[in-house]
Amino acid sequence: MDTPYQRILLPNSVRLLLIPMPGINSVATSVMVGVGSRYEDRSINGISHFLEHMVFKGTEKYPTTDDVNIIERQGGLQNAYTDIDVTNYHNKVLASDWEVGLEINKELAIRPLLEERYVEKERDVILEEMKRYDDEPAAKVEELYHTMLYRGTKLGMRIIGEVDSLRAIDAKALRAYHARWYTPNRIVVVVAGAIGGQEQAIQDRVMEWFGSLPASSEQSHGIEYVTDTQRESRFESIVKPDAQQAHIELGVRTFPRGSEERFAWSVFNLLMGVSFTSRLFREIREQRGLCYHIRSSSDQWIDVGTWSIYAGVATEKVQEAVQAIIDELRKVVQDGVTEEEVAIAKKRLKTMIAFQSEDPEFQNEYYGRQEVFNQELLMLDEYLKKIERVTKEDIDCLTRRYIVTNTLNLALVWSGGETDKIQEALKIF
């Protein structure tokens, strides 16, 4: 089968994906590294994110922050992010600037200076970033929900870290962590966009820049696997006296990243909690007027997964809102979805993918994340075919399997109030 990408494996196990996209004028480049917060120890929790910050203070070829910012001076977009199991250095530039775009990401990922003189200042920046998250109830409730599910495991640690662990990190620790995890077998280079005719030149540059990195002998994933053992519903809350709303995150445990169930669940998630036509929006916002914003979303990792619903509601209406959401979950388990809902959701999903696929950054993320997670690369056409094959019966089977009381979790951030009746509401049947 013809593929829309070219995959090249360097002798040292660095992987390169080339994704040509005719008819556009930009190129998205990234260097993804298969490491994130769940690879850390509690004593250095937050170091993956700290490292991502520090590399922008200078690299071997671009030794100052001003030097590193060359992409913005050329009109491009430069950024990076740290996640639970991946760190990504990425940018988007004009087609004529692909080389400098890729070179900057190479420098950030494998040639950072990590100088001690910048550590204290950047630590203070991250501590301020932490305060910002702590002051945002919507972000705080999402974090609380995640911690509830995976407390006591590395997966359950905060990406940003904790105050004590951040204060313990110095330049020596950053260099050791970089040397330990930024190895060729974890590095994926992705170039997507207007690269027609440049494929060999890009491959030559990647070989020059990455090919000399010493191969790693590591064979394991390097993570602590999590097993879901929850047997009854759970509820936790954080009181923020100045909170103007109550922020709810309610969800269940589902399946790991590679499960074939993800295609039917994507259709279900869309019809249940994404945008104006979703069940939750129509019932909780439009019919009952309980919230302004409500949405559902999924998170999957190599070993476990979850699906959750977020809503911001008036403090005095928390119990009513939780009960209304539970009622909708019960209804979908008991009565199933309709053929019309499935057809509409599939069309919406296919349209969304069509729009997104015109952007090289989306193509970069779509294929790059599959590769860095060591999944078999699923082409977008194949993905859409799997979506088209989803049936009402597929979705009904999954909702009965996963929307159950014993893995129900509710996180709440609010100004405080009575919780007994909220806890009592956490029953599907």
164 in the same domain as 262: no
363 in the same domain as 241: yes
204 in the same domain as 274: no
Q: Considering the chain, what percentage of its residues have pLDDT values greater than 90?
A: 97
163 in the same domain as 70: yes
Q: Which of 422, 157, 227 is nearest to 313 (CA)?
A: 422
205 in the same domain as 238: no
Distance CA 383, CA 109 (A): 30
84 in the same domain as 166: yes
Contact 12, 215 (CB under 8 A): yes
Distance CA 55, CA 81 (A): 12
Contact 28, 91 (CB under 8 A): yes
Q: What confidence category does residue 421 fall into, taking pLDDT thresholds of 50, 70 and 90?
A: very high
Structure confidence at residue 1 (pLDDT): 52
Kindly state the average pLDDT of the residues 304-317.
Answer: 97
State the total domains in the chain.
2
* 6-9: strand order across its sheet: 6-9, 15-20, 187-193, 26-33, 87-94, 77-82
241 in the same domain as 203: no
Q: What confidence category does residue 172 fall into, taking pLDDT thresholds of 50, 70 and 90?
A: very high
269 in the same domain as 159: no
- CA angle 162/64/17 to nearest 5° reads 75
pLDDT tens digits along 124-161: 999 999 999 999 999 999 999 999 999 999 999 999 99
Strand partners, 77: 92
365 in the same domain as 250: yes
What beta strand segments (E) does 36-161 contain?
A: 77-82, 87-94
265 in the same domain as 201: no
pLDDT tens digits along 56-91: 999 999 999 999 999 999 999 999 999 999 999 999
Final residue before a domain boundary, out of 194, 210, 226? 210
Structure confidence at residue 173 (pLDDT): 98
By CB atoms closer than 10 A (0-12, 13-18, 19+), residue 411 is: buried
Task: For the chain, state the CA radius of gyration.
Answer: 23
Q: Is residue 83 part of a domain?
A: yes
Structure confidence at residue 390 (pLDDT): 98
Structure confidence at residue 271 (pLDDT): 98
Q: Is residue 99 part of a domain?
A: yes
Q: Which of 181, 255, 172, 173 is nearest to 161 (CA)?
A: 173
CA distances from 280 to 9, 294, 296 (A): 45, 7, 8
Q: Is residue 229 part of a domain?
A: no
Structure confidence at residue 218 (pLDDT): 72
Q: Is residue 222 part of a domain?
A: no
Structure confidence at residue 108 (pLDDT): 98
pLDDT tens digits along 185-228: 999 999 999 999 999 999 999 999 999 999 987 766 778 999 99
Contact 414, 318 (CB under 8 A): yes
Structure confidence at residue 79 (pLDDT): 97
Final residue before a domain boundary, out of 210, 225, 259? 210
What beta strand segments (E) does 49-131 contain?
A: 77-82, 87-94
The domain containing residue 371 runs over which residues?
234-424
Final residue before a domain boundary, out of 176, 210, 244? 210
Q: Is residue 243 part of a domain?
A: yes
78 in helix, strand or coil?
strand
What is the DSSP code string of 235-277?
EEEEE-TT-SSEEEEEEEE---TT-TTHHHHHHHHHHHHSSTT
301 in the same domain as 174: no
Q: Which amino acid is at 235?
A: F
Q: Is residue 296 part of a domain?
A: yes
Q: Is residue 224 part of a domain?
A: no
Kindly state the average pLDDT of the residues 400-421.
Answer: 96
CATH number at residue 11: 3.30.830.10
420 in the same domain as 288: yes
Q: Is residue 218 part of a domain?
A: no
CA distances from 366 to 30, 98, 103, 321 (A): 12, 19, 21, 35
